[in-house]
Amino acid sequence: MQDRQMKELNKKRQQDIQNDTQKLFQLATELKAAVDKSNENLLSLDVVRKADEVEKLAKRVKEKMKEAMGPPPHTAPPPMPTPHF
């Protein structure tokens, strides 16, 4: 039962990451368009707000990616080299 629940949580987390990544892409595209419209003498408040949104969303995606929903897969350590005498 717990295994099934972990799988469901992982599936939801993965979907959330995909949705947030799509939003992040859209925001980054909007940020680029806003920056392209500005010049060296004028940086609009909208550009600063968009950059802040991108940063917050990127941090949220990063944190979701770090969440561990179960033990990491077991991998065998690399074999130790045998000494040659």
Overall average pLDDT of the 19-33 stretch:
94
Q: Tell the residue number behind the tokens 């995606």, with chain if given.
A: 61
| Angle subtended at Cα 72 by Cα 70 and Cα 75, rounded to the nearest 5 degrees | 150
Rounded Cα–Cα distance for residues 57 and 59 (Å): 5
Task: Say what the pLDDT of residue 27 is.
Answer: 94
Q: Residue ranges per domain, the chain?
A: 2-66
Contact call for residues 2 and 50 (beta carbons, < 8 A): no
Task: Say what the pLDDT of residue 28 is.
Answer: 95
Structure tokens at 9: 């949580």
61 φ, ψ (degrees, to nearest 5): -65, -45
Q: Tell the residue number behind the tokens 């707000």, with chain if given.
A: 49
Overall average pLDDT of the 38-45 stretch:
78
Inform me whether the pLDDT recorded for 38 exceeds 70: yes
Inform me whether the pLDDT recorded for 70 exceeds 60: no
Has this prediction a pTM greater than 0.85? no
Inform me whether the pLDDT recorded for 2 exceeds 70: yes
